[in-house]
A and B are shown apart, each in its own frame.
Chain A
Amino acid sequence: MKRFFCFLLTVLLLTAVLSGGAAAAEFPTFMDLYNDWGMNGFPDYVSEVHSTNGGWEMTVLLVEGYDDKADEILASLENADGLTIETGGKYSYNALLAVQAEIVEEYMVDGSGDIVGCGTGWHTVNGEVTGFGESGKESRVVVDVKADKAQEYADLFAKKYGDMVVVESSSGAAVTDTATEDSAGAAGTSGLWIGVAALAACLLGSGVMFARRRALATATGQVITEDGRLSRRAVAQAVAQAQWTPKRTFADLKARL
């Protein structure tokens, strides 16, 4: 009997410890977390997010060396079904955005017009949408340059940014990333969720969009995500604060009870 009670007590204590130690998940699903990233900025350890199956199953690519963040992400979710986490991304999404911003600031605003578009994401090769890097699923900063200047800028950006930037020659309008994953949603296509306004515009044939972002740190590893435009977070805060109070009071309600 004594042994049984000791066993029962041990089980109860262990249960209390384990349940007390388990942190409550912050987000019901990955899409909630993804939306939070979209609103508040992506963490520096995220390289890329894309659809695994063309639908709602998602893959998060972490920057190389941040394998430990996988557990953190999973622990923050109540339900991680359909989520795949991979590692080995070369650059963080934020770093690519910083480079994009710098290119826009230095070469596009009041520039020569040689660069017709700049965006962060994947690109189209022979009609097929594809990413970069060894996996073929990473993003890069894709710069569309007038055909006769393409090589000149390719050499310039290779020297300045290494393989963070990919130059493509363009015969027409090209785009810069602004709406990131939302344009991918609007396009309704598979696979592209971060920084795909450039690709969406190519697919949809839409016009030129410029991100009016201030010059940020160079691609030496420093990333500052300062943005001259209204942030999504600021928009959300503005909506949350724009409330209307009814004129009728509790007394009016009470009179009807």
Chain B
Amino acid sequence: MTNEALSAELRRLRSGSLEALEAIFLDLRTPVFTVLLRLVRDRELAEDLTQEVFLRLWQSPPVEDVRSPRAWLFRVAHNLALDALRRPGAGELPEQLPAQDFAEGVHARLDVEEALASLSPRDREIVTLHLGAGLRFREIAAILELPLGTVLWRHSRAISALREKLDGGVL
């Protein structure tokens, strides 16, 4: 869903349309969940937070003139993840992502997840927000409160690291 299409659905949502919420949910739940899962590394928690993102969207949608509603949504997801990670008892969970989620192309996906797990949480989030969520670097810089140049450089470095990992490394 482009920002324009999302804006149109949000206009309907602001006037109380459940169909609009459903359309947005069906289109964005996967990338939102993916970002959250890679941030919190806990399936149940990521499920909770994904639901919370769209609940907040329903309760307090962005105002009409938000330039990038898509970025707004992922900022909500990012902030919720940070809050969850700050709670007592939260921490890095190093285990692999659950085996029961596998479908076609599972091995390739596992390889990618393993490679992503080797990145720092911040680099992993930058890569996921750009490639998984489709956000522009400027939007990611605003969400993460980082300079644009830093985001660009970290993304580039992360891709190189992933490439090395997925390609079997250097001699």
Give me the interface of A with B, judged by CB distance under 8 Å: 28-29, 31-32, 34-35, 38-39, 56, 178-179, 181-182, 185-186, 207-210, 229-230, 232, 235-236, 238-248, 250, 252-254, 256-257
Min CB distance, A175 to chain B, in Å? 10
Binding site for A on B (CB under 8 A): 18, 21-22, 25-26, 29-31, 33-34, 37, 46-47, 50-51, 54-55, 58, 97, 101, 105, 108-109, 111-113, 116, 127-128, 131-132, 136-138, 148-149, 152-153, 155-157, 159-160, 162-164, 166-167, 170-171
A residues in contact with B29, CB < 8 Å: 245-246
* Contact between B55 and A236, CB atoms less than 8 A apart: no
Given the known A-B contacts A246-B29, A248-B47, A253-B51, are A210 and B171 also in contact in the complex, defined by CB atoms under 8 Å? Answer: yes
A sample of 15 inter-chain contacts (CB < 8 A) reads A32-B152, A35-B155, A179-B160, A181-B156, A185-B156, A209-B170, A230-B166, A235-B162, A238-B111, A241-B109, A242-B132, A243-B34, A248-B47, A250-B22, A253-B55
Closest-CB distance, A211 to chain B (whole angstroms):
9
Interface of B is mostly: helix
Chain A residues with CB below 8 A from B54, complex form: 253
* Beta-carbon contact of B33 and A31 below 8 Å: no
Determine if B30 and A246 form an interchain contact, defined as CB atoms under 8 angstroms apart: yes
Q: Report yes or no: A208 in contact with B159, Cβ–Cβ below 8 A.
A: no
Query: Which of A29, A182, A238, A256 is the one whose CB lies under 8 Å from B51?
Result: A256
Q: Which of A32, A232, A235 has the most CB of B within 10 A?
A: A235
